[in-house]
Amino acid sequence: MNNYSRKLLLLQVLLLIIISCKQYQSQDLINSKFTIDKSSVKEDSYLSKNLDQLFKADGLTYFEPDYSGTAFENYYVKNIVIQNKSNRKSNYLLFFNKNNILTDTLKIPENHIYSLNVDFDNDKKGVAVGIFDLHKSYFKITNKFELNKNLKIKPLSINTKINHCPIPVELLSEENVGLEEHFTFGIENQKQVKVNVKAPSNDFSKWIGNYKADIEITRTDGDYNIDYVIKILNKNDVLITEKINNEDNNVPDIFIKSVSGDQLIMKSKTDDAVEYIISKIDGQYYIMGNTVYMLNPPNDRYVLNKEM
């Protein structure tokens, strides 16, 4: 074999290695544990090497809006907003199972919003994407997706029947309380089909009460016992006490940011990074949110008991 043949063979081997590495990297992110690392955090934006790798980018800026995460019985969703170097923003949903395995992603078109846990015909659950007309309280659905048993996204026909469509996640805020009373949804085509179905009423009174969580975590810097006591007296009166290794800390300036049938989001008026979420999944309460996630990533929820 002459020198040219040897060099050609070496080049082919190197190309195969590079291609294999790229394919492995792409396959390795989906269907594996995935942690959103954060660096250069500024208010609600940050950088992330792991997200850069997922989206095959370099040095993008990421945001998590107030409606950044929603949990259900066997999976949870994170909403990620990406800003490129031209300041153009894109919105992606990341789907995780209960073991923090990233199962799939879904890009939301510009100027569109989405509903989760939509009940389709034939016992299918999934996502509805569309445009919301605030004046008419009408959700015009443009895309439908099934989230199958493996938590994979599969497109559905636009004509797939919807039995129930929750209010879009972006609209689950305090200023939109009462929207469910006249919320309608449907699709529009040449003949304009409209389905009028009311979402179930969100009764705030069911959230009133006292909640407790006892959390034990082990980190590289030691073991911690963390207790939470949450008292919800009414929409304008919420108290949160955090005790870490017997040191009490009253969380100041807490208010209710948004409320829905299965989730209540609380934020701080003075610190945007402070976020607590009470979520009810299959009859069990959990404490979640950005503040709870930072206790021991990638764990993002802990059992919360409501006093009867």
122-135 confidence digits (pLDDT tens): 999 999 999 998 87
pTM of the model: 0.57
- List C-alpha distances in Å: 172 to 56, 140, 280, 284: 32, 17, 15, 21
Evaluate if residue 79 carries a pLDDT over 50.
yes
pLDDT band, residue 193 (cuts 50/70/90): very low
The residue-averaged pLDDT of 22-29 equals 45
Residue holding tokens 């998590």? Answer: 64
What pLDDT sits at residue 268? 87
Sequence-ordered list of residues with C-beta below 8 angstroms from that of 148, at least 6 positions apart, any chain: 124, 154
Extract the runs of DSSP E, i.e. beta strands, from 64-158.
69-71, 75-83, 89-97, 101-108, 113-120, 124-133, 138-147, 153-156
184/4 Cα distance (integer angstroms):
70
pLDDT band, residue 176 (cuts 50/70/90): low
The residue-averaged pLDDT of 161-166 equals 89
CATH number of the domain at 204-306, please? Answer: 2.40.128
In the chain, % of residues over pLDDT 90: 34
Any idea where the domains of the chain sit in the sequence?
A: 39-195, 204-306
Evaluate if residue 222 carries a pLDDT over 50.
yes
